Amino acid sequence: MWSSTRSLSDHPVGKDAQAMRTGQRQNKGMRTRLGCLSHKSDSCSDFTAILPDKPNRALKRLSTEEATRWADSFDVLLSHKYGVAAFRAFLKTEFSEENLEFWLACEEFKKTRSTAKLVSKAHRIFEEFVDVQAPREVNIDFQTREATRKNMQEPSLTCFDQAQGKVHSLMEKDSYPRFLRSKMYLDLLSQSQRRLS
């Protein structure tokens, strides 16, 4: 028999029930926080917070013509620093900015001239983006991942080409059209047009 001085939480079943209630409270709190995150605003004001320059100055420099050209092609968007910044801000609202970060890391990697740096940079990119369970794992198929893993045995400037191509294609077909329809992009266009009038 339990003594009257022991509480229900001291009983093994009571401890399990208490742990379950605590876990449910924590889960509810996590769901609330995730709910807030998933309703992240998709407006132009979010974009200005991460612009490469001071936001107001950058928006003044960004012409309607430049912002409109981003819709010409995905590569035009990627060739413009404000386009990359706007697309990155949009991908953050979708929790998929790792695709763009990987693509940019590969572009930077291709400029590597030192053989010693090339090997260490290649392994760092692989461990961060390509390896299974990588902290910012990109969405590529098994064959591409394995081909890239083989390339790591003797890294070269082209070792990520296949994976980078797959990620580029995924962003171009999936995220890029959504970006062009997003409130963020449409707000940006209307703000740049208002400055002209």
What's 153's DSSP letter?
Answer: T
Q: Kindly write down the DSSP assignment for every residue of 161-192, as one continuous string.
A: HHHHHHHHHHIIIIIHHHHHHSHHHHHHHHHH
What's 126's DSSP letter?
Answer: I
**In this structure, what is the dihedral angle of CA atoms 72, 75, 79, 83, given to the nearest 10 degrees?**
60
Global pTM reads: 0.71
- Exposed, middle or buried: residue 69 (CB in 10 Å: 0-12, 13-18, 19+)? middle
Q: What is the pLDDT of residues 87-98, one digit of tens each?
A: 999 999 999 999
Q: How many CB atoms lie within 10 A of CB 58?
A: 16
Six-digit token string for 109: 């990697």
CA angle 60–53–34, rounded 5-degree value: 105
pLDDT of 194 reads: 74
Tell me the angle at which helices 81-93 and 183-196 cross, rounded to the nearest 10 degrees: 140
pLDDT of 59 reads: 54
Q: What is the pLDDT of residues 161-179, one digit of tens each?
A: 999 999 999 999 999 999 9
pLDDT tops 80 at residue 50: no
Rounded to whole angstroms, how far apart are CA atoms 140 and 128?
14
129, 105 Cβ separation under 8 angstroms: yes
pLDDT tops 80 at residue 116: yes
